[in-house]
Chain A
Amino acid sequence: MRKSKSNLSGLRIVFWIFILPLMVFSSYGQEVQKNRVRIKADYIKVMNSQSYLDIKVISRIDRQMQDVPNIELEVYYEFDNDEIPLGKTKTNMSGASRFILPPLSEIKADSTGTYTLGVAFGGNENFKRGSRSVSFKDANIITQLLEIDSTNYIKASITKAIDTTPVVNSSLRVQVQRLIRPLKIGEDFNYTDENGTILVSVEKGIPGPEGILTLEVVLADSDDYGTVKAITKAPLGVPIVKDNSFNERSLWAPRDRTPYFILIFTILLLVLTWGPIMYLIRNLYKIYKSQ
């Protein structure tokens, strides 16, 4: 017994001799090895509405890509090698943040009309500092609804904001807004012609609330212009027909919508049994009283 105990303590010493330096080294290493953040930033412009940056921060931790929540980011624009701050934002639980940009008139572009925005992270105890910049030119999409030979079309034109010249041969997506993902209509790729224009037919029978479809024409993730989106409400769909059977009385409805026949049966059953029971109890009382 005793012998084995001393053996054990001997082992322990050997163990510590080997382990201690390792531990010191690794903790030292950890201090140096902060994780790097990867920042993604997409510029999105919605016509007649707002422009914003969709920011996503991830990091490779233990060989796995993970979202980085709750870190503070600074948004700025670059002009003349200067960084002019626009504001701060913080990532949400899934490492994303949407930063609403001020109107472009308040941001200075260079001589070619290119805007450069930056997102920077100052670093903290877990992550190293990092930044990302995104450059784009301003473009506009104008849409128009047409009816040709009783077919409905949506016509969209894209022009550069700086000189209103058309953006030629770029692919625009046409889609209907939907709950989760938009529903594409027309071809997968609709390339603009020399006038920067596309013409896409809107198929019949797409349901929308009161027959109104919210159509989007999107220039997606363009290198030059970022994402530009024009939203149009078009009365080109069929009205949604709601199934109102939910409000009917049914077997699977909650109890305030019990079918009448079940109510009647139950009441009948109760009357048929409890009526005589009451009568019988009354008889017991009468027997008791009659002498």
Chain B
Amino acid sequence: MEENSKKSRRKFLDRGLKIGVAGVLGGIGLSKLSAKFSSDEKASTGETMELMTTDGTIVEVDTSEVMEVSHDHHYSMDYNVREGIPNRKFVMVVDLAKCKNALKCQTSCNKNHYITGDNAWIKVYKMQESPDTAPYWMPTTCQHCDKPACVTVCPVDATFKREDGLVLIDNERCIGCRFCMAACPYSTRVFNWGDPGQEVTLNLDLTDYEPTPEYAGKPSKMGTVDKCDFCPHMVKQGELPHCVTACPNGVFYFGDKYEDTVTNGEETVRLSKLLKDKAGYRLLESLGTEPSVYYLPPVDRLVEFEDGLEFYKEFESVEKPTEE
């Protein structure tokens, strides 16, 4: 069994690498290939490499045709799914002052992670510490703790902490004991109590999907745990997680702590400065879980708390497809 899963992981890596290269270079391979007809001054090296084209076919091109152009990613795509992208440490900053419970993050997350259950991976809590203090909206994702309580209690290494900061779940390994859910103080984990039915509910063709902890919650498996994964499938392509791009108010910042840079898509700022200027904090710091998600307090708000009440649903976080 172990042999098998290893093999499939390698297979995934192999494929992921190809897709990754194709993704980063975009159409370069092809367009360069065609450009070659008019400009033939570069000598061919004689070496070839496989590339996956945008329509999924594999072409062999001369290595001289492939080059990185605009952006030099100093991380390799060839990494172990359980160890993570080397030399990265992903963090998120959530600016509570900007959140007005528009719930676009949740809708986008639900859609892009093919969530079919009743409990979303990203929640926007209606918070009020005491009757005299101000109410505010608090979006929560998985906190991707550096000392994750959920990982500690997992008996089979199904949920694991990566060097790049991500806490992920291997749903081919999970035995469904739910100890991690009991251990998580942020109640962020969700369980597939029944068959997730992604292929039925969402009209997904799941025949070709190989499950991996990085594949955006697809396919979900009955009797296993799911949760927010910080969208490594997007980050790999140099893109932001879905909740970050979906937010109309720029609440979420995402980035690499080592680079000291986070971005919400609109503005890109230094993490340390942001946390210093706006008195960033982490949820339940006293528990010592060392989350990777920072919060900026809801001060000097540009939005009214009451505006969010319109979208607030106490008993729903995943919109069900309406049956016709």
Interface assignment of B270: CB less than 8 Å from any CB of chain A: yes
Q: Which residues of A contact B259 (CB under 8 A)?
A: 178-179, 183, 207-208, 240
Q: Which residues of A contact B55 (CB under 8 A)?
A: 70, 90
Given the interface contacts A184-B268, A252-B161, does A98 sit within 8 Å of B28 by beta carbon?
A: yes
| Chain A 63-96 per-residue mask, 1 if CB under 8 angstroms from chain B, else 0 | 0000001100001000000000111111111001
Which residues between 160 and 207 of chain A lie within 8 Å of chain B, taking CB atoms? 176-184, 206-207
B interface residue count range (under 10 / 10 to 19 / 20 to 34 / 35 or more): 35 or more
| Chain B 23-47 per-residue mask, 1 if CB under 8 angstroms from chain A, else 0 | 0011110111011111101000000
Q: Which residues of B contact A176 (CB under 8 A)?
A: 261
B38 near A102: Cβ-Cβ < 8 Å: yes
Interface assignment of A97: CB less than 8 Å from any CB of chain B: yes
* CB-nearest residue of chain A to B35: A87
Among B65-73, B106-114, B199-207, B301-309, which stretch is in contact with chain A? Answer: B65-73
Which residues between 198 and 252 of chain A lie within 8 Å of chain B, taking CB atoms? 206-209, 214, 229, 240-243, 245-246, 250-252
A181 near B69: Cβ-Cβ < 8 Å: no
Given the interface contacts A99-B27, A178-B268, A255-B157, does A52 sit within 8 Å of B82 by beta carbon?
A: no
The answer for the CA separation of A246 and B83 in the assembled complex, in Å, is: 9
A180 near B39: Cβ-Cβ < 8 Å: no
Given the interface contacts A180-B238, A242-B258, A252-B152, does A87 sit within 8 Å of B37 by beta carbon?
A: yes
The answer for the CA separation of A92 and B53 in the assembled complex, in Å, is: 8
Residues of A bordering B, CB below 8 Å: 44, 46, 49-50, 52, 69-70, 75, 85-93, 96-103, 106, 176-184, 206-209, 214, 229, 240-243, 245-246, 250-255
17 contacts between A and B (CB under 8 A): A75-B31, A89-B34, A90-B30, A92-B26, A93-B54, A98-B26, A100-B31, A100-B32, A106-B39, A176-B261, A181-B268, A183-B259, A209-B74, A241-B258, A246-B163, A251-B147, A252-B147
